[in-house]
A and B are shown apart, each in its own frame.
Chain A
Amino acid sequence: MIIMGFSTLQTFPLIEGLTGPQTLDVLHKRITALGARVSGQFVVDCETYFSAPSLLPGNSQRVLNVLHNTEEPASVFAILEGGAKQPVLVADTLLDALLPKMAVLYTSNKKQTRIESKGNRYEMGDFVVKLGSVTMSGSFKGILVEVCYLACVVPALCWEMVWEFMQSFLGSTVPSTLPPYIQSRQNATFSPTDTIQMYLEKFNEFRKQTVAR
């Protein structure tokens, strides 16, 4: 698997009085003013499958999340929720073809559960920034900002520098501590599965928001 730098992910609250696209436009202006240039589009999407009642004893149900990231176009990530550890299965795109055939075991209601973050990808030196507009079953949910520093793979070594970079265009919305997910593994080598796990965490937060409302 390709190792590619260290990524961190945060939500960006809508600027008061502005819509989602308008807020994104403000961010676009800020980051291009810094010298970053657009280097294409990106999408991270997630579909959720639920285990059939017959699969597990009792009434317990397991949730299988299947994610794609345009940064890793040849891979499909599958994460089984629940349990102490969340194993990440990295498969090639054949998994997408296989899942419909497993409908007896895992079913999905695509229209309701599909969530994605989509937008511009920017480059500046060794930094990559992705400004994503999050939509769930077609409706806008919020903004996710991913910042990746390609030249370093150990979060503890470069976190302060990445933080300084994020502050330069996200301002005070950047939390002063490492995201909890990274905190626990800041001395380990970062990998694309870590990025995908962080996206899943954030997607689940967005989903809960809708439940609360």
Chain B
Amino acid sequence: MAEKTVESLSKALDCVQQLRTSVCDVFRYMTEGNSESGDDDTQRKQYVINLKETLNTVTRRLHDVEESVNKLSVPSGAFQLGNTGFLSLDPTLDMQVLYGRLLDSYKWTEKVRDYSAFAVPIWAQNGVKRSQQTALVRKRRMAQTSHCQPPQHVDAILKTIGGTFNGMQLSISRPYGTNSAVVQVDLDHVLKAVITFKGLLIEWVLIRGYDEPMLTEDGRVDLWTPSDYHVFRKVSENAQAAMVHYYGPLYPEFSLRSYLTWIYSYMKLFSEPCVKCGSRLLNAMPPTWRDLKTLQPYHEDCKS
């Protein structure tokens, strides 16, 4: 049924095309005019006859078009995408636009689907693909173990690593289930940090002042409320950037140790001068950045 409609449609389109060419022929013939000059009567008659002939072609073609159009069946109702068709019936003016747009995006996604269907076999021929894919799979498999570790194991590692820093205390709690440890870090009387883990991977970190509360009203460790102090809000920001830098799912213990070492370098936040400008204060702020490799203090505006 559908195929028949398509066939007759294309036939009708052909007819229209032929009609247009014949009309074009008439006009071309007329613009060329009677090329042979002179007042030969027979020549002039011949020209009129030819013109009549082309005009006749036009009428024939027009007849063809009418015929093929008549053959076409009238489509039953408007083109609809299920219930969304009702959108076009919405009486409010600004809603009527929606249906048109919906159809547009429908067509667009259809096209995307077609293109991707074409693209898949082409890309499948790519020879390099295979080795890359296995590398990805291997990485992913190793990573899977570091974000999912037995809590005893995580506790043991945190204790061993935490014990190596003099003046820094770690206390572990698990208010959000066994797999996510919340570690509160007390760095002397300088600052406090809350580090949230997923297995052995650090998920979030927040820095607050030594005198700021670490628990919410219901007694849980507060993971979200930022510090009241400018300096700790800045350090918090930097600690989150460093968290991303030290992220290493392949060697979780190593990256955890590096990260805690980095945090430990804030021990002298209020007394160490910036290595670039030599001052302790810049814009009323101490050096709030610690270099990720050398751990040296820099002001926010002094780090390169």
Contact = CB atoms under 8 A, between A and B. Distances in A.
Interface in B283-302: 283-286
A124 B229 CA distance: 11
A206 to B, nearest CB: 30
Chain B at the A interface: SS class: loop
B231 A157 contact: no
A126 B280 contact: no
A4 B285 CA distance: 18
B83 to A, nearest CB: 59
Interface string A149-160: 111111001101
B211 interface: yes
Contacts of A34: 284
A176 to B, nearest CB: 15
Interface string B208-240: 011100000000000000001111100000000
A125 B210 contact: no
A3 interface: yes
B103 to A, nearest CB: 57
Contacts, number: 59
A161 B190 contact: no
The bracket for how many chain B residues form the interface is: 20 to 34
B209 A151 contact: yes
Interface in B242-300: 270-271, 279-281, 283-286
Given A124-B284, A161-B271, A3 B231 contact: no
Contact of A126 (B231, B271, B279): B231
Contacts of B270: 149, 151-152, 157-158, 161
B189 interface: yes
A181 interface: no
Nearest to A162: B270
Contacts of A42: none
A126 B230 contact: yes
Contacts of A160: 271, 280
Given A35-B284, A125-B283, A153 B229 contact: no
Interface residues of A, number: 23
A158 B266 CA distance: 13
A149 B279 CA distance: 17
B189 to A, nearest CB: 4
Contacts of B210: 152-154
B283 A153 contact: no
A126 to B, nearest CB: 5
Given A152-B189, A152-B210, A157-B188, 11 more contacts: A126-B229, A149-B270, A151-B209, A152-B190, A152-B270, A153-B210, A154-B189, A158-B270, A158-B271, A165-B284, A189-B211
23 contacts: A3-B211, A36-B284, A124-B284, A125-B230, A125-B285, A126-B285, A150-B229, A151-B209, A151-B232, A151-B270, A152-B190, A152-B210, A153-B189, A153-B210, A154-B210, A157-B189, A157-B271, A161-B271, A161-B281, A161-B286, A164-B281, A168-B281, A189-B211
Interface of A: 3-4, 34-36, 124-127, 149-154, 157-158, 160-161, 164-165, 168, 189
